[in-house]
Structure 1
């Protein structure tokens, strides 16, 4: 999937590759381990819901959905093209598996909180998962939702922070005072887990732990922007840069996919 992300970015000229590479392991754990979903029945009433807060990482979600069987992988090369379902941020006419619009950041947790409360009131079994960027949690709406979710004891809600330490204009902790992040979420009334966001086994275990709680859960995933490709790792230029064809070949070699 990492190589596909690089190749799609190169061929479609769409940015945000570094942001996609930092969260692809989280999405892998979610879609192959945690979520109750059926790609052949994407609108199943009993399904779990995934909402992408950091919408600029749409390519990571599209790629995950394609590999999980929601649509053909060839469709990924429509990303960002005129008239395509595969918009640079997931839109209202998104492809199969997209549950919400994600243009302006900071709204996904609020939306999921309302959906989770509705399910709780109706005694439904659906669970709701939200992936946010560390830059995204600068938004006040995130913390309003965090207070509300804890107050309603929404144990069917899981927030994941892709904490890659970088955002569009610099280092996250220089722009806003984020740390100590675990203590903040815990103080807001959430069961909090911190882990290596590239460790699939740790992620799987965390999602299993989340299902046993009586309160909302926040998973803080320490990640590396551009993870998996040495010349992209922790280089914030890859928030915007498009890889050249020779760089895709270098990535292919590094990933051992010759």
Structure 2
């Protein structure tokens, strides 16, 4: 079912705010994994503002949906989304990755409200998500588990072990995304470790694959709703994205996998986002 005009407006506003927050936090902290943070924003926004059943006032609610951000280095995007949702005061993020701050570069589930699992060691998120989905089934619970992987992360063998398990157990209460921005810390994914034919690999491991534009909210909504309705096996949403999305001088530039922003670059990034979202 297509999103309403009101829903699209809300999601676009939230995505703009989240990308502004990513830029600001990168400036405050001195550096962050900004490129991959910007590329994953739209997936986080549509999950938290459209599909996930959560209660920020009760983050341990037993029947909440779970999110595992397997590409944990994108915590610079995850933290402000949680803050704006109401899990904690946004002002706390001015200390992001600073001494004694609870907000490290990779968010710690024991320190940050709303984080279902500590991630950052790549390749661990999907195995955790598979365990959670199995746990829900064994307890006869209806909550969903969502997992967001990076594409470079899919070099890890543990991803494919978990994929085999998810398909074997037909975990239809698990929805998996890959943030396919085609860049990783050392360069282009296809130069470092060729992933293609990527969709076919997931299919061979037993997943039903929906390949979409990961910045198109209607496409994301259609894919998520397809995944919810599918009962024959787990669904993989292969979301094609742009690293550094929304900041013109960062888009599709591997050097912005991680970086800092001085006052001039910070202003340029803000202006670029304003232009991209028509806020000039």
Whether these two folds match at TM > 0.5 is: yes
Match of 1:116 among 133, 139, 158: 133
User: Which residue of structure 2 lines up, in the alignment, with residue 149 of structure 1?
Assistant: 166
Provide the residue aligned with 2:261 in structure 1: 243
Per mean C-alpha deviation after superposition, the further-off stretch among 183-192 and 151-160 is: 183-192
Gaps of 5+ in 1: none
Find the residue that maps to 1:44 and give its secondary structure: coil
SS at match of 2:62: coil
- Note the C-alpha offset of 1:94: 2.6
Deviation at 1:93, TM superposition (A): 2.6
Instruction: Say if 2:31 is the partner of 1:23.
Output: no
Q: In structure 2, which of residues 213, 216, 225 is the aligned counterpart of residue 196 of structure 1?
A: 213
**Could you tell me how far apart the structure 1 residues matched to 2:120 and 2:180 are?**
20
**CA spacing shift, 1:127–1:140, aligned 2, 3 Å:** same
Indicate which of 248, 251, 267 corresponds to 1:233: 251
Mapped to 2, the partners of 1:76 and 1:26 lie a distance apart of 21
Aligned to 2:10: none
Deviation string 1:114-171 (CA, Å, 9 cap, x unpaired) is: 1111111221111111111001010000000000110001100111000000000010
> What is the match of residue 65 of structure 1?
82
Q: CA deviation at 1:186?
A: 1.3
Secondary structure in structure 2 of the residue aligned to 1:250: helix
Provide the residue aligned with 1:173 in structure 2: 190
Query: How far apart in 2 are the matches of 1:19 and 1:94?
Result: 23
Aligned pairs (5 A) from 1:30-109: 30-109=47-126
Contact 2:28 2:95 in 1 (8 A): no
Cα distance in 2 between the residues matched to 1:131 and 1:92? 16
Which of 238, 242, 255 is residue 220 of structure 1 equivalent to? 238
CA distance in 2, matches of 1:233, 1:152: 38
Equivalent-residue separation in structure 2 for 1:240 and 1:108 (angstroms): 21
Q: RMSD across aligned C-alpha pairs, in angstroms?
A: 1.2
TM-score normalised by the chain length of structure 2: 0.89
Q: Is the 8 A contact 2:28 2:96 kept in 1?
A: no
Q: State the shift of 1:21 in Å.
A: 0.5
Question: Residue 92 and residue 43 in structure 1: after superposition, are their counterparts in 2 closer, same or farther (change >3 A)?
Answer: closer
Deviates most, 143-152 or 201-210: 201-210
Q: Secondary structure at the match of 1:15?
A: coil
Gaps in structure 2 of 5+ consecutive residues: 1-17
Give TM-score scaled by structure 1 length: 0.97
Q: CA deviation at 1:92?
A: 4.3
